[in-house]
Amino acid sequence: MAQGLSNSAACREVGINRKTGNRWRYGRKVVDRSGREHVHLPITEERDAGAGSPRFLSEDERIVIADLLRARKSLRAVARELGRDPATISREVRRNRDPRTRTGKYHPFQAQRRAAVRRARSKEGKIRCDPELKEFVQQHLDRRGSPEQISQVLRSAFPDEPDRHLAHETIYQAIYLPHRGGLERTPGVLRTGRRARRRRRRVDQRTTRFLYPGEPVSRRPAEVAGRLIARHWEGDLIVGQGNRSAIGTLVDRTTRYVKLLHLPDGRTAEHVRDALVYTFAALPAGLARSLTWDQGSEMGRHDEFTRATSIPVYFCEPASPWQRGSNENTNGLLRQYFPKGTDLSVYSAEDLAYVAAELNDRPRKTLGWQTPAQLFARLVATLE
């Protein structure tokens, strides 16, 4: 992966399963029958044993904190100097100052040792150690209460017992890590229905899933963001039952004119690339200046599409569907014709053309009750 391969490609090269590659990259924890936790560290480049995760303050940062505090700098000034949140610095000084001194002076090396011991200590968890608290939380989970709701209920149920006040993250961990919290992890205990927790990466850890990273949406020309000029398109897929079939959707950002991609053979990057090239080739010259898509793997061949059509592709940020809002709205309208959970492979290219024509002939409030077909026809006329 350091050579630029994706996770899947690297796993194929080494000859291992993709899930095994994920465990090698991120590490894992295994609990044996006796309840002991064994940590398998990720296979990464060698790091300084004292460095730890960048999430935590390092010894060098603690030395800077001590020097600035000695210079009578405020906590906010210290936070600005280190590029940290002020709450992080405040919590660090409060937790790790020397309790033996009258003024509670902050000693960086002692603070580093206290932090290391605190992270390494055994964490049994409040819920597991308190049967009454565990029963209270489990009862509310059985009644479909969310961890955040239960967290607030605990404050009113035990107003004089702050040790029984839990953050909602504590409840989540007790569900997903039974050896720590002891709560039952049944399929319906959480509204998401997930049996395992989804990994969330920090912004600086997110990497593109494409071999050739595309242009971010922030680099689109100003005329695209302002919808000042037509000919800039947004695209996506709507997926059928079991993720086995799909239809590609394209919409012009200004006129809201819709084109649908027929994908009878699948929705791989090659199929989507070919369908896009075919669809845009059928348009009059000059009617496509850019395409905005999400981070879906179906656009893995975006560089080949751009070379074939000279149309640049811009990609939205992760989990930011509003950056291609016209397409999201169009996909919602299309669900009237293609409900979720249906097999989309039964629809022919003629069926898709009929649906697109019906949508394009529908008056739209955002267009002053004109139709996309009318505006698009005027646009075509200006190019003739």
Flag whether 205 is in a domain. no
Specify whether 219 is located in the same domain as 345: yes
Specify whether 241 is located in the same domain as 228: yes
pLDDT in the model for residue 13:
83
CA distances from 268 to 3, 80, 213, 258 (A): 24, 46, 18, 22
Residue 222 region by backbone torsions, left for phi larger than 0, else alpha for psi between -120 and 50, else beta: alpha
Is the whole-model pTM more than 0.75?
no
pLDDT in the model for residue 34:
64
Flag whether 16 is in a domain. yes
Flag whether 6 is in a domain. yes
Compute the distance between CA of residue 286 and CA of residue 363 in angstroms, rounded to an integer: 25
- List alpha helices for the chain, DSSP H: 7-14, 18-26, 59-70, 75-82, 86-96, 108-120, 126-129, 131-142, 147-157, 168-176, 178-181, 222-225, 269-281, 302-309, 325-334, 349-360, 372-383
Per-residue pLDDT reduced to its tens digit, 365-380: 989 999 999 999 999 9
Per-residue pLDDT reduced to its tens digit, 47-78: 444 455 677 899 899 999 999 999 999 999 99
Specify whether 104 is located in the same domain as 166: no
Specify whether 294 is located in the same domain as 374: yes
Compute the distance between CA of residue 326 and CA of residue 329 in angstroms, rounded to an integer: 5
Element (H, E) at 216: strand 215-216
Compute the distance between CA of residue 259 and CA of residue 249 in angstroms, rounded to an integer: 6
Residue with tokens 């009237």: 336
Joined together, the tokens standing for residue 322 give 């509003």
Flag whether 187 is in a domain. no
Specify whether 357 is located in the same domain as 247: yes
Number of Cβ within a 10 Å radius of residue 322: 8
How many structural domains is the chain composed of?
4
Specify whether 364 is located in the same domain as 219: yes
**Which CATH number do you get for residue 345?**
3.30.420.10
Flag whether 206 is in a domain. no
Q: Which residues of the chain, if any, have pLDDT below 50?
A: 45-50
CA count, 13 A, side-chain hemisphere, 36? 2
Specify whether 229 is located in the same domain as 334: yes
- Strand pairing category for 290-293 and 313-315: parallel
Helix (H, G, I), strand (E, B) or coil at 250: strand
Flag whether 198 is in a domain. no
Domain boundary among 120, 148, 173: 120
Non-local CB neighbours of 27 within 8 Å, separated by 6+ positions:
39, 40, 41, 42
Specify whether 261 is located in the same domain as 305: yes
pLDDT in the model for residue 187:
63
Flag whether 227 is in a domain. yes
Domain boundary among 120, 144, 160: 120
Flag whether 52 is in a domain. yes
Residue numbers of the domain that contains 70:
48-120
Among residues 274, 278, 272, 277, which one has the least CA distance to residue 246?
A: 272
Joined together, the tokens standing for residue 120 give 């390494």
Specify whether 58 is located in the same domain as 134: no
Specify whether 259 is located in the same domain as 335: yes
Specify whether 379 is located in the same domain as 232: yes
Specify whether 41 is located in the same domain as 57: no
